[in-house]
Structure 1
Amino acid sequence: MKPFDWHADPISRATAITKSYRNTQNVRRFLIRECGDAFRFDRPFMAWLKDGVE
């Protein structure tokens, strides 16, 4: 299986965050679409995404 491409592969609510996760423009577009135009990344949110804790 090829690694998930955070820059180009389609993202959905079911997409699992992998070890190769990156805060790409593709991710930002997805989160703005899902959360609204006011969505902004901040350091605690980015750390939460990468730490793997639910």
Structure 2
Amino acid sequence: MTGTAHEGGSDKSVDGRVVVFPSTSPKDLRVTVYDPLRGVPVAELEDKLRHG
């Protein structure tokens, strides 16, 4: 996969779905999976990273 939580980027999986890493902050993690035929998100994960 390309991109990290602080770089942003995207990658295509084997079945054609597009995975997007839109986060620009090293403390935010967001991953969105898009259906390539309809262009709509099918799953999204968002989390805040905290250091103790």
TM-score, structure 2 normalization: 0.23
Relative contact order higher in (CA < 8 Å, ≥ 6 apart): 1
Larger gyration radius, structure 1 or structure 2: 2
TM-score, structure 1 normalization: 0.23
As a proportion of its length, which structure holds more helix? 1
As a proportion of its length, which structure holds more strand? 2
